Every structure is written in structure tokens, then in C-alpha cells.
């Protein structure tokens, strides 16, 4: 690949207000940073090394509201989704319950017949169904992925379970190890009986994502598999990091991703006033957006650089960089609010209120749960049609609390899921 065809990332940035006025010693503000793939090389996808780690314990054979067992629904979704991968990608499958087994060693997608055969026969392998040892499945999955891991390859685990598991501490250790080896996790709950706190922890520790398959939604498995496989097939930038070097007296409070979905990022401060946020794997043809929470000091009127941004990523043969890009603020009379930034702030505030809601539900604090749900409802109603589902679910929470004093697991999961979604990306 010639230097001119190397994949590039274009950085756009804008402030919450066109001009800021700080009357006290400091004032809170926000910056929106957009990362947009650019250049001829941005159209090239990365080779994928994927392992599906699948729970085949006895409960996966249960039928829910769809007339099909959970396992059959996942089989059908996987059979359809593998068509989205490239012939040069590799797929392995580990089945786990009380014990575990590699039922498909890493196999190129060009050998599709062998892959489809194993998926079709996933319930016929010699795995003891009497338990859920997810830690053993993850360990075997990591071992399989590492056999085919190398520079410039996207290594990924997709872990699916419908229940509680033994070895939680070991699962968390394995997630940390995976992140250190640049192997990401997607952790998917099936139904409602899985350990929500554990799955979220694993996704965060392994710098991946979490999700769930609604047992009563006939299309949920197909939709989730299709979205995740499309995203993996579109990966174009590995191990992306954003460095934010703040100028004197500027404070960086937090960095969040807000598109394609909302999530907190693992940001560290390796040296004074320099923050490092790990962004993970970015798609080759889709922009991502981030909100930086700032504290600005009092200054005279004029334009000032308040930070320097740099985005770097792994090419497999070294790292590329956007170079240092200034983040600037104009001081003066209080200016207009940027509608695009404000929209993302609204979404983030609902995301934060949902955290309070989930904590209150977990601790059986009915009054705190009502207050958090009311906050979500009011904010979502102000946002109008683009937050209609958030409004509906907040009302559902309040109705369940008023009738029975508790929130159903199904509603709780739906609220948690929709809170991180961005219903209008335009």
C-alpha cells in the first residue's frame, strides 16, 4: 500500500457554544469530536479472526414466546449472519455448559460447508449440559483465537449465555487478559436470567460491547447477529486511541462515545494534563463521535487553544496518526448553543439518569427509581419524536413501580438497552 492510499481519519471538532463567557473562576463546557474515515485506504476491511463462545446448557433448549428453542434461534441467526463475512476471514466455535469443547477450530470462511455443518450440528457434540462454566468457554475461545492472531488482524470473541455462571472472578480476569492482548469481547445475554452486572463488566474490561436477545422477539437473534457481523466485517481501524493534551488550567473531566451508541470510555492520565482514551476498533466507512466534558477557566475575550488532540491507530506494521489537532474556544459574550452538540448532551443526560435508575432497581430503592424514571421521561419528552421509545419505556417503569413496586426484568433490560442507543444520528 502506497503512503497516499493509507487509511486516514479526519478529525472535526466543535464546541457547545459559539463563544463562552466565564463569570466565575471556571465553567463547565463540552466539545464534540467527530472521527471520519478518509482516503482511498479507508475502503479496505481488516481480516477477521472470530470465535463464537456459545452456551449449550440445558436451559438453551427451552422454548420461549417464539415457538423455537433459544439454541435453534441462535443457530438460524448464525447460519444467516456468516454470509456477511469474507472468504479470508476465520471463524471458530466453542460450545460450553458444565464443560466445554472446540467444535470448530479456526476455519477460513472459504470453507463455508464445514462451518455451516458444525452450526447445524451444534446440539450433537459431547458437551455435558448440566451447568454453565462460561469462564472455561472463554478460556478455550481465547486459546483458539490466539492460534490465528497476528498484526493487522481483528481478533474477537462473541460470547452468548442465557444463565448465571460459575467462575465469575475468572471471567473478569480473562476479560482483562483479552484486552491486554488486543482481543475484544462481545457478550450477549439470551432471555432475562443472565447476570447483567457480570456481562456489562466483561464487555467493559475487554473493551467490547454487551447486548441481549429478547426471548419473546422472534427477530431479535437475527437482528443482533446481522448487526454485529456487519460491524465486524466493516472494521477498518484497529486499536484506535485518542490523546487529549489539555493546556494549563483546562480540566478534562470525562470522555464519552456518543455515536454509534453511548458508552463510557476507559480514559487514563498517563502524564499530567494528557488524557488517553481507548476507542477500540472503528469501521472503515462510518463516523464516530465523542463528547469531552471540560472545565474552562476565566480568560479575556479572544480565541484560545485549550487542548491538542491526536488520534492514532494500528496498521499491523506500526501506528498511524492524524497529527496534533487544536481544540479552540472563543471567549466573549455568551454565544448560541450548537444544536448538534446539545442533542448529544441530551442523550448523555438520559444515559446518566438510566445509571441511577439501574442502581436504584438493584438496591430496591423504589423512590430513587421513580425519581430517575421521571428524569428520563421529562428529558425524553423535551427531545420529542427522536426520543419516543425512551419516553415510552420511562412511562412503563413508572407504571410498574406504581402498581407493584418493582420493575420487571424485561422492562429493566429494555430501558438499559435503549438508554445507550442514539435514535437519530443525523
CA distance 197 to 215: 19
Instruction: Give the pLDDT confidence of 321-380 residue by residue, as tens digits.
Output: 999 999 999 999 999 999 999 999 999 999 999 999 999 999 999 999 999 999 999 999
DSSP letters spanning 142-182: HHHHHHT--TT-EEEEEEEESS--S-HHHHHHHHHHHHHTT
Q: Taking each helix axis as running N to C, give the angle between helix 112-120 and helix 70-81, from 0 to 180 degrees, rounded to the nearest 10.
A: 170
**All three cell numbers of 332:** 466573549
Q: What is the pTM of this model?
A: 0.92
CATH architecture of the domain with residue range 3-43+236-337: Sandwich (2.60)
Strands (DSSP E) found in 182-301: 183-190, 209-213, 235-246, 251-259, 263-264, 267-271, 274-283, 288-297
What would the pLDDT profile of 93-130 be if each residue is shown by its tens digit?
999 999 999 999 999 999 999 999 999 999 999 999 88
Model confidence at 144: pLDDT above 70:
yes
Integer Cα distance of 19 and 141 in angstroms: 52
DSSP-derived letter for residue 170 is: H
Reported residue count of the chain is: 426
Look up residue 212 and give its three cell numbers: 441481549
pLDDT on residue 35: 97
Question: How many whole angstroms separate alpha carbon 270 and alpha carbon 268?
Answer: 6
Percent of the chain scoring above 70 in pLDDT: 97
Residue of higher predicted confidence among 175 and 285: 175
The DSSP code sequence of 90-141 is EEEEEEESSSEEEEEEEEETT-HHHHHHHHHTGGGS----S---HHHHHHHH
Classify burial at 272, counting beta carbons within 10 Å of its beta carbon; exposed 0-12, middle 13-18, buried 19 or more. exposed
Q: For residue range 319-337, what is the model confidence (pLDDT) as tens digits?
A: 999 999 999 999 999 999 9
Between CA 232 and CA 229 the distance in angstroms is: 5
Listed in sequence order, the residues at least 6 apart from 281 whose beta carbon sits closer than 8 Å to its beta carbon are 46, 154, 184, 235, 237, 238, 239, 240
The yes-or-no verdict on residue 316 having pLDDT over 90 is: no
Confidence (pLDDT) at 43: 58
Three-state secondary structure call for residue 271: strand
- Check the CA dihedral 234-238-239-240 and report its sign: negative
Given a cut of 50, whether residue 425 has pLDDT beyond it is no
To the nearest whole number, what is the mean pLDDT of the chain? 92
Contact 319, 182 (CB under 8 A): no
Confidence at residue 318, expressed as pLDDT on a 0 to 100 scale: 86
197-255 residue pLDDT tens: 999 999 999 989 999 998 788 899 999 999 999 999 999 899 999 999 999 999 999 99
Residue extents of the structural domains in the chain: 3-43+236-337, 48-233, 340-419
Domains 3-43+236-337 and 48-233 share a fold: no
d(C-alpha 73, C-alpha 221), whole Å: 6
CATH 3.40.50.410 fits 48-233, yes or no: yes
Task: Give, to the nearest 10 degrees, the angle between helix 409-419 and helix 339-362.
Answer: 150
* Strands 267-271 and 274-283, sheet pairing: antiparallel
Selected residue with higher pLDDT from 290 and 236? 290
pLDDT in tens, 259-284: 999 999 988 999 999 999 999 999 98
How remote is the C-alpha of 84 from its chain's centroid?
A: 20
Amino acid at each position: 500500500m502506497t503512503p497516499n492510499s493509507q487509511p486516514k481519519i479526519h478529525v472535526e471538532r466543535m464546541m457547545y457554544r459559539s463563544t463562552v463567557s466565564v463569570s466565575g473562576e471556571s465553567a463547565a463546557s463540552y466539545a464534540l469530536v467527530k472521527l471520519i474515515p478518509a482516503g482511498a485506504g479507508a475502503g479496505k476491511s481488516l481480516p477477521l479472526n472470530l470465535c463464537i463462545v456459545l452456551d449449550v446448557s440445558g436451559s438453551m433448549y427451552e422454548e420461549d414466546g417464539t415457538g423455537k428453542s433459544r439454541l435453534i434461534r441462535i443457530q438460524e441467526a448464525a447460519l444467516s449472519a456468516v454470509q456477511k463475512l469474507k472468504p479470508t476471514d476465520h471463524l471458530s466455535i466453542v460450545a460450553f455448559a458444565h464443560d466445554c469443547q472446540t467444535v470448530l477450530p479456526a476455519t477460513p470462511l472459504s470453507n463455508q460447508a464445514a462451518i455451516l455443518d458444525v452450526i447445524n450440528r451444534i446440539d450433537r457434540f459431547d458437551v455435558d449440559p448440566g451447568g454453565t462454566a462460561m469462564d472455561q468457554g472463554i478460556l478455550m475461545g481465547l486459546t483458539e483465537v490466539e492460534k490465528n492472531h497476528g498484526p493487522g488482524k481483528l481478533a474477537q470473541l462473541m460470547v452468548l449465555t442465557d444463565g448465571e455462571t460459575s467462575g465469575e472472578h475468572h471471567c473478569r480476569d480473562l476479560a482483562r487478559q483479552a484486552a491486554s492482548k488486543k482481543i475484544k469481547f462481545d457478550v450477549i445475554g439470551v432471555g432475562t436470567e443472565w447476570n447483567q452486572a457480570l456481562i456489562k463488566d466483561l464487555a467493559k474490561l475487554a473493551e467490547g460491547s454487551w447486548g441481549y436477545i429478547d426471548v419473546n422477539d422472534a427477530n431479535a437473534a437475527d437482528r443482533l447477529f446481522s448487526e454485529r457481523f456487519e460491524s465486524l466485517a466493516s472494521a477498518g481501524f484497529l486499536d484506535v486511541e485518542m490523546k487529549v493534551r489539555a493546556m494549563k488550567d483546562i480540566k478534562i473531566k470525562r470522555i464519552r462515545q456518543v455515536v454509534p451508541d453511548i458508552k463510557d470510555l476507559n480514559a487514563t492520565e498517563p502524564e499530567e494534563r494528557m488524557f488517553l482514551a481507548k476507542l477500540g476498533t472503528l469501521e472503515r466507512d462510518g463516523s464516530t463521535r465523542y463528547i469531552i466534558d471540560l472545565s474552562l477557566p476565566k480568560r479575556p475575550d479572544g480565541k484560545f487553544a485549550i487542548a491538542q488532540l491526536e488520534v492514532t491507530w494500528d496498521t499491523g506494521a506500526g501506528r498511524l496518526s492524524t497529527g496534533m489537532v487544536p481544540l479552540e474556544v472563543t471567549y466573549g459574550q455568551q454565544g448560541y448553543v450548537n444544536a448538534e452538540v446539545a442533542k448529544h448532551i441530551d442523550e448523555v443526560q438520559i444515559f446518566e439518569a438510566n445509571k441511577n435508575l439501574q442502581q436504584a432497581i438493584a438496591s430496591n430503592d423504589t423512590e430513587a427509581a421513580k425519581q430517575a424514571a421521571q428524569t428520563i421521561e421529562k428529558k425524553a419528552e423535551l427531545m420529542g419524536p427522536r426520543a419516543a421509545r425512551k419516553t415510552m419505556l420511562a412511562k412503563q417503569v413508572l407504571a410498574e413501580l406504581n402498581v407493584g413496586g418493582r420493575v420487571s426484568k424485561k422492562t429493566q433490560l429494555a430501558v438499559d438497552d435503549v438508554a445507550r442507543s442514539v435514535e437519530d444520528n443525523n
